Structure 1
Amino acid sequence: MTQKLSRVISSEYNGFQVEHALLKLALKLIEQVQKDTHLMEMPPSSIAVKLTSGSTWKYLWQAQFDKLELKIPLSDPRFKLPSWIVNEPGSYTDHQKIYWIGCILRAAVLGGADCTGTRWKKSNTVTYSGLRSSWYKRRMGMLHSPEALIGEYATVSQWTSELLMHCLQWPGFESSYIRNQVIANIENLNDLKHCIQNRLKQLEELVCQTSNLPTIPSEIYRPEQTRNTFRIVTVQQLQPTSELFKLHGARLESKEARAIHREHLAAICKLTLRTLEAKVKAEESPSKPYCDLIVFPEVSVHPDDEDLLKRLADKTNAIIFAGYVFQDKDDKLVNLARWLIPTYKDGSRQWVIRDQGKEHMTKLENKMGVTPHRPCQHIFEVHGHGEATFKMTGAICYDATDIKLTADLRDKTDLFIVAAYNTDVKTFDNMAAALQWHMYQHVVICNIGEFGGSTIQAPYKQQHEKVISHVHGAGQISINMADIDPHAFTRVTKTYKETKAPPAGFNR
């Protein structure tokens, strides 16, 4: 099957927005320009893509590319090589080829002909969002973050951002912004090819095979800690109640609902901060109230109240995983949970924002017209805690009951987090008790206070150590705190709590 590249990337379901497919396109572009340069400086509208037999456009991230070919050469100044790149008369240098490949890749992930644009949304927060003038000026100062390229449902990682940053360098670019040394050391096409091949191999090893889901790994750099533990807080709030949704609709947009919801969330954030302050005081520590991860329930935060979460994260240095009330996505109602991740460099704080979608709907959600939307599974590799990195991921309520997903994630993560809004507390209690051993890692479930049942569990051998925290009883506000050892079940030398033997087939 042959199709114009411009048509594929401008379609509603642009498969090149998934990192796996984008890197496969990059390898095909490298292969093509190494053989001949007839595609050089051509826009996507001049390039035809052919998939191998058995591959489909629907699952482009799984597809294999047969060939790229030139279709009706067109001139587009946005894909012409700028004068600042090292050149040689009569031939294209590797630096020029790498720049052009970067242009095609950026256009593909953006889904349009202008490779210099962004999808950055306007916000009340003043922040750098790239140059907004003509494409000619935007080439010097392009913003490559996943949020700018795709949005909060980012299906590419910071790794892709750094690759584009390296390919599309402009005069005066500071290479210290690239953390990945392999990318920073790319000097020619062969270096670029080997770098992409290694990354693609890593991505393919992380694919959730049984649930047919691409996994996007992202590296998170936390402030270095002297302790090995990872502090988690589960926030069991009361609002929004099921009655509030019945009265004011799935989006909770009425003035009455917004007033009730925001006031309650503000009080809960204040209570969370006071709880952490009490912990610090009890430990007689001079540090500020510190936390590593704060988890809120499913559909518990309105997007207009995100500022409250960010202020809480700033005061505690915490990563936040919170379920957001139902939102519109491409004119469809969806359920999502948002990761708000503060990152620190050179004394400044930036936000990494990722939305985790939900695939499996409950009967009530089906009645409300909520549509499944889970483009990928995010896994975060956390640096700065103890002797090694560890990996965490999250799911929304009913998705956690999918045994295919949890089986896929078992050998890939060290911490599984579930944001829930669940009436069947007993079932989720049993699920947590089962998953903590079958996945062989810490399992965190944060439920709404209307129903209760928030818990943190881990497969330690001693019965009293398995349940780290658990809140029973309906109609309760509860701020639960626990310091966990994220390396407890992957550490070779067991020097801490005694753990159970791993389940059969555990490969980490």
Structure 2
Amino acid sequence: MTNCDSQNTNGSNLSEFLRIGLIQTTLDNNVAWTKAPRMELSEEIRAWNEIQRGLASINSSPFKPDIVILPELALPRPHIRDFKRICAELGVIGITGVDYLVDSDKSTVSNQALVVVPQNWPKGTGKYCTPFYVGKTYPAPFEEKTISNFGLRFKPDPTLWLFDSDSFGHIGVCICYDFMDIERSAIYCGKIHHLFVLAYNRDSTSFYHLAESLSRTIFCNVVLCNTGHYGGSLVISPYYDPYRRTIYRHEGSGLFTIQVVQLPVFDLHEAQSSSAPRRGLFKNRPPGYGDKIRLVSTTRII
């Protein structure tokens, strides 16, 4: 097991910024999952069309992102191979929620995010990529009830992933309700530069407040990619000046949106690594920041 402590990263190798592409799709849960925890064909077709439009727009952008993020449950499973291929051809890491998976025992359901890393990333495009699956640990109450109504149980995944993206810093990825897990936040503290949250959440206001709080207590960039069906995507960084902290915020229901933003990496790392950061750029580190935290036995770090 490798320690991915951000304090141990060689700051001189870090890039100034990490460029993120957000694709906020508008999957309608009232239509998608009516008979089983598998996307209805009509929503599957519409969802994949939106994703293709978003990726095409990202590809034509003069500010090509390093990583593309989509919401929870956004990608229909029949198009996983297509998503991998496109990400490899674009030369971008793709992080997206995937439709529910009914497990082999036919009694449980998993909620996963797919992380696709092209073979030549970040230096260029290619034909192949390496996939990872990040599982959801805690179902939202409504989600658990809906799955139960189908005669199935939610299958939790207790594994926590921290990704080392080399010059772009360390990244934590979680799915929706796991964002509220206090123990997870404690493990992330001092370990990551960026926290990516894939969500399908109707209460975007609560997540806004939580994102701002965790950007200060974990002391990292927080990217919240929520479904456009409810709206509420947010990118926030612990800058000192209030007007700089919210890098991006999008509100409004039923809106398909694409946006490319930049997250600070090098300067944030310097602030994380010093008890006396450059005055006026970032907020002060939270109490106890950087103290060693014992990782739970189920933690897997890449």
Q: Secondary structure at the match of 2:268?
A: coil
Preserved contact between residue 269 and residue 309 of structure 1 (Cα < 8 Å): no
Which of 289, 312, 317 is matched with 2:91 structurally?
A: 317
Which amino acid in the other structure matches residue 230 of structure 1?
A: L
* 2:114 pairs with 1:338: yes
Alignment of 1:43-442 (within 5 A): 200=1, 202=2, 228-238=16-26, 240-247=27-34, 249-252=36-39, 254-274=40-60, 276=61, 279-280=62-63, 290-331=64-105, 332-344=108-120, 350-367=128-145, 368-369=147-148, 370-385=153-168, 390-442=169-221
CA distance in 1, matches of 2:279, 2:74: 36
Aligned partners of 2:84 and 2:129 also within 8 Å? no
**Paired residues of 1:266 and 1:308 also in contact (CA < 8 A):** no
Q: CA deviation at 1:255?
A: 3.6
Pair 1:335–1:319, CA change in 2 (3 A): same
Greater Cα offset, 263-272 or 314-323 = 263-272
Change (3 A) 1:487 1:330: farther
Residue 226 of structure 1 and its aligned partner are, at CA, apart by 10
Distance verdict in 2 for CA 1:256–1:450, change over 3 Å: closer
The equivalent residue for 2:299 is none
Aligned-partner Cα distance in 2 for 1:330–1:446: 30
Structure 2 segments unaligned to the other structure (5+ residues): 6-12, 292-302
Question: In the alignment, is the contact (CA less than 8 A) between 1:248 and 1:257 conserved in 2?
Answer: no
CA contact (8 A) 1:414 1:487 kept: no
Write out per-residue CA displacement over residues 149-203 of structure 1, whole angstroms, 9 at most, x where no aligned residue.
xxxxxxxxxxxxxxxxxxxxxxxxxxxxxxxxxxxxxxxxxxxxxxxxxxx5x45
Tell me the number of residue pairs that the alignment of Structure 1 and Structure 2 aligns: 272
* RMSD after superposition: 2.7
Amino acid at match of 2:117: I
Question: Bigger radius of gyration, 1 or 2?
Answer: 1
Write the deviation string for residues 177-234 of structure 1: whole angstroms up to 9, x where unpaired: xxxxxxxxxxxxxxxxxxxxxxx5x45x97xxxxxxxxxxxxxxxxxx9952110111
Distance 1:501 1:338 in 2: 34
Give structure 1 stretches of 5+ with no counterpart.
Answer: 1-199, 207-224, 281-289
Conserved 8 A contact 1:273-1:312: no
Q: For 2:42 and 2:245, locate their aligned partners in 1 and report how far apart those are by CA, in whole Å.
A: 42
One-letter amino acid of the counterpart of residue 232, structure 1: I
Cα deviations by residue, 1:407-460 (Å, 9 ceiling, x for unpaired): 111111111110000000110010111011011000010000011110110110
Greater Cα offset, 430-439 or 374-383: 374-383
Structure with the bigger percentage of strand: 2
Once the two structures are superposed, what CA deviation does each residue of 1:217-269 show, in whole Å capped at 9, x if it has no partner? Answer: xxxxxxxx99521101111111x2112224353211x4434333323332232
The TM-score, its normalising length taken from structure 1, stands at 0.50
Shift of 1:496: 10
Question: Which residue type is aligned with residue 166 of structure 2?
Answer: H
Secondary structure in structure 1 of the residue aligned to 2:56: helix
